Structure 1
Amino acid sequence: MYAVLPGLVVFLPAFDQIYPMLAMLVIFAWVRATEGSAIQAVMLGALVFVVTMMAWNLLALGGFAVLHAVHLLRRERFAKAAWLRLAMIASIASGVAIGLHAVLYLLTGYDAPASFVRALATQRAIALPDRTWALCAGLDPLYFLLAAGLPLLPLLAWSLRDAREWSFVSRSGPALAWLGVATILLIDVSGLLRAETARVWLFLQPFVVAPAALALSRVGRAQRATVFVLQWLILVVLVARVPFIEP
């Protein structure tokens, strides 16, 4: 599915393709940490450090962490042990990330907070007046889904409907798939990352690609081949006709 994902292919050569991989690692580390893995909590902190050295927009994955934490607390009836476990994970991860940045600052003088402030200023500078909240909230998901390829949409809907049958979410129920979609909607409504979502939101593509691919794995070879051919045709059309892929 990823090999013919328009949003990854049309922007080659670029560094954007690594962002979905980082996002998947962060999501994996967070979920495993909430299941009791202290090592994954440390890995989460290290990944946050790497992310903040590359692209600050990936910090928007914190929206998924918050939604997932609320789901876990509700599932465990807001027990004190659940609160303490989440607090411990947050403390370990943030401690590792801040510690690594402190070491980097002592060694090189790189000022991460100043970099973050500059990134926010740059974001405000490129937020053109005509990119209003209403316009972006309505059109940004369209460009995001266009970058995902249209055949993915019915697969995603099918997968969300039958999410209870997925083995990989059996311990958390169908919530992971739904929380992923909710994260996309949260970022859209918040207006945090406006416009150019075919590229800027690439790190959110795993939330739709993974469930769609799982749904695709449950059909026959002929149906899978049909989806891949349709995805390839859409990719060709985008490369040939859609102006937002121009340099």
Structure 2
Amino acid sequence: MAEFDGLVAAVTGGASGIGAAVVAALRERGARVAALDLRAAPEADGVLGVQADVTDDASVREAIGTVADRFGGLDILVNNAGIGAQGTVADNDDAEWLRVLDVNVLGMVRTARAALPYLRRSDSAAIVNVGSIAATAGLPQRALYSASKGAVLALSRAMAADHLREGIRVNCVNPGTADTPWIGRLLDRADDPEAERAALCARQPHGRLVSPEEVAHAVVYLASPVAGSTSGVGLAVDGGMQDLRLRPVT
């Protein structure tokens, strides 16, 4: 597959988890890729590691400028950087709400804002924002996280409307519970990690956690020039959790 030959992509949170899987998938398909993260990954096989803090506008602008200078432009932005949060609406103070929204929502705003001047020059411009099943399904103990990811989905649709006639497609991927380092840390803190993992698997109709590679394939599709008529979409990669209602196994 060579639909990304000659294209340049930047992936925030690209050093681990879903971000690293997206970086690998884009690179395999011919893109030159920059992995933006708090700690820059070492450069290897056409992948540029760039240090970036999505809560710092100057850091983001410098990172996007570095990518464009190094590769001669920017065609694709994948907004993947994000953090998790647990609890009901009453369990986190204002400072925690602001911290999570600053990363998960404003982080995408800052990165897209910095990237737009370069994307407007591209014939294959695309932005893919990584949301969550939490944007579309009510999950217990996820009030703050759900609010942030609901904002990401709404933001993605608004951006799609704003920028489509500039030739920039914007879409969103909504993963179910994925087998990422963050989920691993949550399981490690559980009283019974194995039982908690089994419960997370059971709530997804296909009976297991989503893999980072599965999410990456969805991101790659939405970022690809072959998806030129797809914009403003929230694509679920959740094992059917949002829309399927299977009868219990007896």
Greater relative CO (CA pairs within 8 A, separation 6+): 1
Q: Which has the higher helix share?
A: 1
**TM-score normalised to structure 2 length:** 0.31
Q: Which structure has more strand as a fraction of its residues?
A: 2
